[in-house]
Amino acid sequence: MKTIEDLDVAGKRVFVRADLNVPLDGTTITDDGRIRAVAPTIAKLVERGARVVVASHLGRPKGAPDPQFSLAPAAVRLGEILGKNVAFATDTVGESAESTVAALGDGEVALLENLRFNTGETSKDDAERKAFAEQLAALADLYVGDGFGAVHRKHASVYDLPGLLPHAAGDLIATEVGVLKKLTEEVARPYVVVLGGAKVSDKLGVIDNLLKKADRILIGGGMAYTFLKAKGHEVGISLLQEDQIPVVLDYLKRAEATGVEFVLPVDVLVSAEFPDLKTKAPANPSLVAADAIPADQEGLDIGPKTRELYAAKLADAGTVFWNGPMGVFEHPDYANGTKAVAQALLDSDAFTVVGGGDSAAAVRILGFDENAFGHISTGGGASLEYLEGKTLPGLAALEG
């Protein structure tokens, strides 16, 4: 894979596919980690006199402009981080994009509006995607792929566009891939994996590969309930993926056969209602044993015994990969499980990798020093698919 050092960028229009998909509360960015992560690549290009055209997706708009998914707040924040003005185009490939890019001088930066305001970006139809990629290509001379959080997507700006322009990987992608590669090679043991979060079906797949690699797998968050149910416990109205129970049972069986330790919650915080994340009104959860969840309640965080258990299982780790919060950390009553795992990572001497958009945001929002972790990945799905051993379209395109 070429790096930006291999490109002659001075005076050239350089398209940087970034991942500025940051969490927003209205127009306020609640965690700018992804913007900060790509800023060094952009700053380097600026320094070398490139005319930098940054593009990203944000959220899941339906192929048409939708103000709630505008990247305008990201342009302001990127400008603050770079310490220079970032021009903002109010469309992606239309008049505003054309004139904004045409107005760029050497060492100047523009951000295009959300790529997903165009159906071509995510289209499953190769021709439609290609046509959109050609429109994007018209705005640039060179391509730099640095949106690690999107490299697992076969999207126009990630997969098709690099084929149309001389291309290289940005520094963020180079770093992310370097760290993940380390996790697939010789790791310091015990290698402990912590999985949680809400995207249960997206995350079960990685266990297949991790069963061959990890020594211990700790399960929390929403996926814990599919495991508890598979073990024959009732889980009330908790997140549950019933159709995945056979898969989960197979994992448990294989883990036992190969000596991989699977650890499930022993107690959980439950409530009849999902908490109000806006008002953060007290949720008054009850604490129950993991095999005694009432029928009308849902599990929303791991309990204190589980926190202690997981901390102990992490204490002697040599390597840790953590993806997915242990509970609904956005509410203070359900943040303690996630906090405990973050603290346990910091207390261990392990090489620690945190993956997942929400997990990374959780670490920062809950007040931990992000520099104290070995690596905080900007890509959840992307890092999981890498560890699953899949070919990532955006990385394959950069290799070509």
H or E, element range at 115: none
* Joined tokens for residue 348: 């261990």
User: Is residue 280 within 8 Å of 314, Cβ to Cβ?
Assistant: no
H or E, element range at 164: none
Residue 358 interacting with Mg ion (CB under 5 A): yes
Q: Near ligand ADP by CB under 6 A, which window of 127-135, 169-177, 197-205, 311-319?
A: 197-205
In terms of CB distance, is 18 or 328 closer to ligand ADP?
Answer: 328
Residues taking part in catalysis: 34, 199, 357, 381
Burial group, residue 216, by CB count within 10 angstroms (0-12, 13-18, 19+): buried
Query: What's the closest the beta carbon of residue 322 comes to ligand ADP, in angstroms?
Result: 9
Among 61, 162, 357, 393, binds Mg ion (CB under 5 A): 357
Spatial distance between the Cα atoms of 101 and 298, rounded to a whole number of angstroms: 51
Closest by alpha carbon to 331, among 298, 378, 295, 290? 298
Query: What's the closest the beta carbon of residue 197 comes to Mg ion, in angstroms?
Result: 6
Side chain identity, residue 121: E
* Joined tokens for residue 32: 């700018």
In terms of CB distance, is 130 or 233 closer to ligand ADP?
Answer: 233
Residue 385 interacting with ligand ADP (CB under 6 A): no
Write each residue from 346 to 375 as x if it is in contact with ligand ADP (CB under 6 A), else as -, in one continuous string.
----------xxxx----------------
In terms of CB distance, is 330 or 333 closer to ligand ADP?
Answer: 330
Residue 285 interacting with ligand ADP (CB under 6 A): no
Among 265, 379, 380, 393, binds ligand ADP (CB under 6 A): 380
Spatial distance between the Cα atoms of 144 and 123, rounded to a whole number of angstroms: 22
Grouping H, G, I as helix, E, B as strand and the rest as coil, residue 167 is strand
Residue nearest to Mg ion (CB): 358
Spatial distance between the Cα atoms of 286 and 271, rounded to a whole number of angstroms: 6
| Residue 4: DSSP 8-state | G
Query: 286 to 345, contacts with ligand ADP by CB under 6 A?
Result: 299-300, 323-325, 327-328, 330
Query: 213 to 242, contacts with Mg ion by CB under 5 A?
Result: none
Size of the site for ligand ADP (CB under 6 A): 20
- Phi and psi based region of residue 259 (left: phi greater than 0; alpha: psi -120 to 50; beta: remaining): left
Size of the site for Mg ion (CB under 5 A): 2
Task: Give contact residues for ligand ADP (rule: CB under 6 A).
Answer: 196-199, 221-222, 239, 299-300, 323-325, 327-328, 330, 356-359, 380
Task: Give contact residues for Mg ion (rule: CB under 5 A).
Answer: 357-358
